[in-house]
Structure 1
Amino acid sequence: MTTASPQTEAKPAVTVIGLGEMGFTLASAFLDGGHPTTVWNRTPEKADDLVARGAELAASVRDAVTAGSLVVVSVKGNATARELLEAAGDDALSGRAVLNLTDGTSAEARAVADWATAQGAQYLHGQIMTIAPGIGGAESVVFYGGSDTVYDRYQPTLQLIGGRGALVADDPGVPTLYGMAVHDTMWGTLNGFLHAAALLSSEGIEAKRFLDDAGASVSALLGYLPMIAGEVDRAEYATEYGALQHHRPSVEDLIRESRARNIDAEFPSYTLGLVNKAVEGGHAGDSYSRLIEQFRK
């Protein structure tokens, strides 16, 4: 296969390694965007539809890597990502851009970055914040970290993944942390809402009706996040209003109401434990953001 030259390509050749749900969708997006696209997967049959639409199926990982100036990896785990890239051979990555879109921890992302850079590659790590059908959407978010050269050079190509991509750091581990922070916030919010919905439904109140009536109050909660973030960043928690001592009775009421309705009270009980520990530690007059100290060991 011909080695691609990013300096002379109007639409650079892209290689996609891994054709799971996300990898397949990424390859489709590059094809639809007019990029010469080479694909490789352990199960070659997964590429049949892409090949029918114009993609090249590489016979080996090395052939795949050497076919593209931008090598996109989307597999299960960073250990697999590195294993596959290593299989391309010591010289295959030299001078190429690697975009690793594989999930994992920040330390794993950094380890792959260090290794790939040592092979002569320019490395960019990406955290996709959408499911496969959202790839290419104007509002789809992708956090990138690593080489600003890769990010700038391939900006039109990266737009095919998500319209709201952003280079958030030169550290390839940061996008992973950003993604985890979004998910952490999401799961906490969803768990809280589902507990509330269980409480409401025990009275025969529809969750949709509740949102129609209380939507403004629920939406306003997000408006407090910048204030809380500022308190956390400054480590300044004293507040005149809404102190922890005023949260405690409301949480206790929620627990008693839940138990009376045979609704699992573990979720609000965990919150009460956090509040009690802070209040008993002398922080009754502090804001809710004080509880961050209890998550730090």
Structure 2
Amino acid sequence: MPQDTPASRTSVTVIGLGAMGQALAGAFLNAGHPTTVWNRSAGKGDDLVARGAVRAASAAEAVRASDLVVVCVVDYDASRAILEPLAADLAGRTLVNLTSDTPERAREAAAWAAKAGVDYLDGAVMVPTTVVGTPDALLFHSGPRAVYERHEDTLRALGGQSTYVGEDHGHAALYDLSLLDYFWTSMAGLVHAYALATADGVPAAAIAPFLKANAGLVLSLVEETAKGVDSGSYPGDQGNLAMEAAGIEHIAHAAEHRGLDTSVLRAVHALAARGVALGHGADSWTATVEAARKPGA
């Protein structure tokens, strides 16, 4: 049986050596993959080179070094500027773009790659740099299933929770943005809750345990809410939207009385009020999805 050695593992090129790019290249090195790196500006990647990575003199040289090329830069404008001049060098290779952007930009990049004869996967890294390469690291990948499966073992060096989410190249970005939509609105609520409590002299730490319990309640509703969104059924027997909108108004009034910014709360109340206006006052909070889909209603 052939021995699995670094020389027998897939060689990989990583383009872009910001904090995330360096974490990705480091994960490939840790897994024993021969790794070539390149960055637009000099002075990055010394630690990777010291660990065995090869620093390419140019982007074209970096691409030619491997059949699997991973790019992770600030946005798709940056990746496009780097990659489009390299179309001939990339032809016949697999390009995995882990740059964060929109589904539309991902699909545009996939169309360009198809014309250039490049196998293309789009992806998203859902964890901080310190988690990349661990069993807990979650990454999304989308594009042709056959291309993903061909490189799945290599890509799993980046995280044990690497997940394929479909043939549509835009889906990795869609999953990414959907999760971040939830994360950042939740973080806004968390910080605002602390602002409200501390405005009356209650330490944030005093309500922290109760917020953890409340977060558990939200988690318990994730699957049920998904079913309601997918089915279009929003039974309000356990709590209706009209009452919940009134409750949000009370919170906003108390926050304004204390001189706090209420722009996020007012936006949430407006969403609920629009749901009521659309005829969902007797339905559950999940019915606000209809208001989200009809912002001009």
What TM-score does the superposition give when structure 2 sets the normalisation length? Answer: 0.90
- Cα separation, 2, equivalents of 1:272 and 1:64: 52
Task: Give the corresponding residue for 2:74.
Answer: 76
- Code of the aligned partner of 1:222: L
Deviations 1:39-94 (A, max 9, x none): 1112233133322222222222221111101101111222322332222242x222
Q: 1:51 aligns with which of 33, 49, 57?
A: 49
Measured after TM superposition, the shift of residue 213 of structure 1 is 4.0
Deviations 1:161-186 (A, max 9, x none): 11101001111110101110111101
- Rate the CA distance shift 1:81–1:218 in 2: closer, same or farther, 3 A: closer
Q: Report if aligned partners of 1:30, 1:160 keep a CA contact under 8 Å in 2.
A: yes
Deviations 1:202-230 (A, max 9, x none): 22222232132453233111211211111
Give the 5 Å matches for 1:46-125: 46-90=44-88, 92-125=89-122
Q: Secondary structure at the match of 1:99?
A: strand
Q: Number of paired residues?
A: 288
Give the 5 Å matches for 1:98-177: 98-177=95-174
- Code of the aligned partner of 1:227: E
Q: 1:253 aligns with which of 224, 242, 250?
A: 250
Q: Report if aligned partners of 2:28, 2:157 keep a CA contact under 8 Å in 1.
A: yes
Q: Percent identity?
A: 37
Q: Report if aligned partners of 1:62, 1:89 keep a CA contact under 8 Å in 2.
A: no
Q: Secondary structure at the match of 1:160?
A: helix
State whether structure 2 residue 262 is matched by structure 1 residue 265: yes
Q: Report if aligned partners of 1:145, 1:175 keep a CA contact under 8 Å in 2.
A: yes
- Code of the aligned partner of 1:40: W
- Rate the CA distance shift 1:292–1:255 in 2: closer, same or farther, 3 A: same
Q: Report if aligned partners of 2:36, 2:56 keep a CA contact under 8 Å in 1.
A: yes
Q: Secondary structure at the match of 1:136?
A: coil
Task: Give the corresponding residue for 2:290.
Answer: 293
Task: Give the corresponding residue for 2:40.
Answer: 42
Q: Report if aligned partners of 2:278, 2:291 keep a CA contact under 8 Å in 1.
A: no
Q: Secondary structure at the match of 2:165?
A: strand
Which stretch shifts more, 253-262 or 222-231? Answer: 253-262
Q: Report if aligned partners of 2:121, 2:144 keep a CA contact under 8 Å in 1.
A: yes
- Rate the CA distance shift 1:82–1:214 in 2: closer, same or farther, 3 A: closer
Task: Give the corresponding residue for 2:180.
Answer: 183
- Cα separation, 2, equivalents of 1:210 and 1:33: 43
State whether structure 2 residue 273 is matched by structure 1 residue 276: yes
Q: Which stretches in structure 1 are left out of the alignment for 5+ residues?
A: 1-8
RMSD: 1.8
